[in-house]
Amino acid sequence: MRKDECKALEENYMNCMLQKVLKDKVLNNRCRLDSVLWFHLECPLDVAKFDDPIHFKRKWRNFFAETKATAELLMVENDEEKRMRSEYGHIPYPEDAKEKVSVRAFPDEFKHLSPLLHDDLDIDEDEDDSNMQVRVKDEDRGYGKKIPGFESEGEKIDLLSSKFGADQL
């Protein structure tokens, strides 16, 4: 007697009663009669609630309210949903393109960089780069500068094999 099992069996029971009231003139059969028997056997406390007329009316009112709310959620559109469907609910064609003024801040701010508006700027054109590059002397770059306390001249470094233990081999 699990709560979720009883809830599913109760929903099937109400679907069966609704379908039988409509004399089985429904689009899809949602009633399983063997589950009605299981509802009576497995959930006797839930079945007993249907004997009370007030509780019975409350169950049906809630069932219809939930069904109506689900149908409205799927079928009824508000004005915003209609506008969205009319604007985006089709395959856009090139002639359907409309400029949105609300998003023009970016093109207006960077129009001085647009290649569509300024064709006279030839960035890819090969130019003589010799006048653009200035030769910098090695002395200006810092090559050959002496660091105090650091000896880098080869003649000052003593390379004796006895110092490193190479004579013992």
Question: Nearest 5°: phi and psi at 106?
Answer: -65, -55
Integer Cα distance of 106 and 125 in angstroms: 28
Domains of the chain, residue spans: 1-51, 53-88
Local structure of residue 22 (DSSP, 8 states) = T
Contacts of 18 (CB under 8 A, 6+ apart): 63
Q: In angstroms, what CA-CA distances link 122 with 69, 77, 113, 133, 149? A: 63, 53, 12, 19, 53
How much of the chain exceeds pLDDT 70, in percent?
Answer: 69
pLDDT in tens, 126-160: 555 555 555 656 555 555 666 666 655 555 555 56
Give the tens place of pLDDT for each residue, 48-94: 888 889 988 998 899 889 889 988 888 888 898 888 888 888 777 77
Model confidence at 41: pLDDT above 70: yes
Gap between the Cα atoms of 104 and 93, Å rounded: 21
**Reported pTM:** 0.41
Q: Which two tokens stand for residue 98?
A: 């409309």
Sign (positive or negative) of CA dihedral 49, 55, 59, 62: negative
